[in-house]
Amino acid sequence: MQDKFGAVVLGANLIALGVARSLGPHGIPVWIYDPDRSIAHFSRYTEKAVISRRDKHELLLEEGRKHGLQGWVVFPTEDKYVELLSVHHESLSSIYKLTTPPFEVTKFALDKRLTYGKATELGIATPWTLVTSEPAKLRVDDLPYPIILKPAINHHFFPYTNIKALSVERPSDFQSKFAEMHRHIPSDEILIQERIPGGGDTQFSCAALCNNGKVSAALTAQRTRQYPLDFGNSSTFVQTTDHFVLEDEARKWLEAVGFDGIVEIEFKYDRRDGRYKILDVNARPWGWHTLGKAAGIDFSYLLWRQKTGMPVGSIPSPRPATWIREINDLFAIAKSPRPISEIKRLLGRLRRGNWTCATLDFRDPVPLFAELGLRGIKFFSALKKKVWRTIPAPTWYQPRENR
């Protein structure tokens, strides 16, 4: 039996690294469960790494009973783990403290159809969105181009394609793009949505800590840069900001669904009507969650205290801070239409101080080098496959099926 309640983190990605760096300095044991080796495994704050492709529900129950993990706090880092914890909430709660609410709550975050439906009930603005099970019957010429196609349930699509959305510029492209997405998910899981104009200056988020539907701490941020530039897989340059209207809208939504835990709600400002429109809800630690620590609201640690029954205490108003995804932000700047301006913006924030990086941490340096190494392996592996495909087969070679 452990002397102190520890934490089990499902996933070993950048988000998991942030959770480990939040909890580890407080002496909290952190165990990482992931099917593959990734950067969080190399952190000095990771006490144990479990690399397994077994069903995580069964693995959690077995590990909890075997090692006496009663009362340990479980953090998911991907939507598939949010779904797993919420669906098996009752059985897992017999051992662990879960940072994920039951499915009747998390479904409103996991499925954008429900996200937008609840927002509409509450008078919160949403993008124009259409769902159909019969795309062939649509009058595609009447759609408000340019539009985007995106999955209603992100983890049913993104992990298999590494694509968050498909852009459709004209009616002639609609059916082919729809068919491309339909190869992975059903028609009624494809959202046909207006494309709100604007770049990073229009992308905002509200991050919050909730306790049984009540928001106890929150900050708003501007997600200034992302990579790739069009539909970024992740933010690369995020700054705290004062947009209280976002916090009000987020509080309204979170209280209505009774959310418990930490959450990020993404909005986009639509200059055409002057409204902030809800886009997505992450019911788990998100990519830049460590910005909160730099701003004075350490979301992961506060949630751990909340779940273990310890007082959270008085939480100060967030102070100005900046978060940088080092490597990806360099790519984002290089591909920006105004790279010089973006470099000046970056240097300006660095000069002001109070910034934090995604992987660079002088107290925990190994993960940065691990990421560089893992990226290098991935790059040369892809290059090797590409070169191999371009080498002509010898004249004597015949594929096995032709022999």
Same domain assignment for residues 141 and 277: no
Tens-digit pLDDT profile for residues 183-199: 999 999 999 999 999 98
Q: Residue 47 domain-assigned?
A: yes
Residues 51 and 132 in one domain: no
Summarize pLDDT for 47-93 with one digit per residue, the tens.
999 999 999 999 999 999 999 999 999 999 999 999 999 999 999 99
Quick one: 305 and 350 in the same domain? yes
Q: Say what percent of the chain tops pLDDT 70.
A: 94
Neighbour count for residue 146 (Cβ, 10 Å): 13
Q: Domain for residue 372, yes or no?
A: no
**What whole-number distance in Å separates Cα of residue 130 and Cα of residue 139?**
12
73 compared with 227, residue with greater pLDDT: 73
Number of domains in the chain: 3
The pLDDT value given to residue 386? 67
pLDDT at 379 over 90: no
Instruction: Measure Cα distances from 184 to 169, 179, 393 in Å.
Output: 21, 9, 33
One domain, residues 148 and 283: no
Q: How far apart are CA 178 and CA 354, in angstroms?
A: 44
366 lies in some domain:
no
Question: Are 254 and 338 in a shared domain?
Answer: yes
Q: Which of 55, 51, 43, 61 is nearest to 80 (CA)?
A: 55
Closest CA relative to residue 163, chosen from 188, 185, 146, 186:
185
Domain membership of residue 170 as a residue range: 128-194
CA 107, 111, 114, 115 torsion-angle sign: positive
What is the CATH number for 148?
3.30.1490
The span from the CA of 174 to the CA of 128, in Å, is: 17
Q: For position 335, which CATH number holds? A: 3.30.470.20
Separation CA 305–CA 198 (nearest Å): 39
64/82 same-domain check: yes
194, 213, 241: which is the final residue of a domain? Answer: 194
Q: How confident is the model at residue 24 (pLDDT cuts 50, 70, 90)?
A: very high
- Reported as a single tens digit per residue, the pLDDT across 281-328 is 999 999 999 999 999 999 999 999 999 999 998 898 999 999 999 999
Residues 232-261 have pLDDT tens digits of: 678 999 999 998 899 999 999 999 999 999
On whether residue 381 sits in a domain, the answer given is no
Task: Please indicate, yes or no, whether residues 234 and 293 belong to a single structural domain of this protein.
Answer: yes
Q: Which two tokens stand for residue 26?
A: 């407080």
Give the C-alpha distances (Å, rounded to integers) separating 387 from 368, 379, 393.
28, 12, 12
pLDDT at 263: 98
Same domain (yes/no): 206, 188 = no
Nearest to residue 5, comparing CAs of 31, 40, 44? 31
Residue 75 lies in a domain: yes
Give the pair of three-digit tokens for residue 232: 């970024």
What tokens were used for 22? 């939040």
Work out the pLDDT band at 144, boundaries 50, 70, 90. very high
Q: What is the pLDDT of residue 2?
A: 47
Q: How far apart are CA 397 and CA 399, in angstroms?
A: 7
The predicted pLDDT at position 343 comes to 92
Q: If pLDDT is split at 50, 70 and 90, which confidence band does 1 have?
A: very low
Longest dimension (CA), the chain: 76
Whether the per-residue pLDDT at 403 is higher than 50: the answer is: no
Q: 381: alpha, beta or left, given left = phi > 0 and alpha = psi -120 to 50?
A: alpha
Q: At what angle do helices 56-67 and 79-87 cross, to 10 degrees?
A: 70
Helices assigned H by DSSP within 193-290: 244-257
**E strand spans, 160-260:** 166-168, 190-194, 203-211, 214-227, 234-241
Task: Tell me: do 215 and 351 sit in the same domain.
Answer: yes
Give the residues across from 221 on adjacent strands: 205, 240
Residue 299 counted as domain residue: yes
Task: With a cut of 50, say whether residue 397 has pLDDT above it.
Answer: no
d(CA 400, CA 356): 54
pLDDT tens per residue, range 161-170: 989 999 999 9
Query: What would the 3-class secondary structure string for 339-385 be?
Result: HHHHHHHHHHHHHHCCEEECCCCCCCCHHHHHHHHHHHHHHHHHHHH
Supply 9's token pair.
């983190």
Kindly state whether residues 35 and 71 are assigned to the same domain: yes
Asked if residue 136 and residue 99 are part of one domain, the reply reads: no
Rounded to whole angstroms, the Cα distance separating 380 from 384 reads 6
Q: How far apart are CA 20 and CA 40, in angstroms?
A: 8
Residue 1 lies in a domain: no
Give the whole-angstrom CA distance, residue 315 versus residue 218. 9
Give me the count of residues in the chain: 403
Separation CA 154–CA 63 (nearest Å): 29
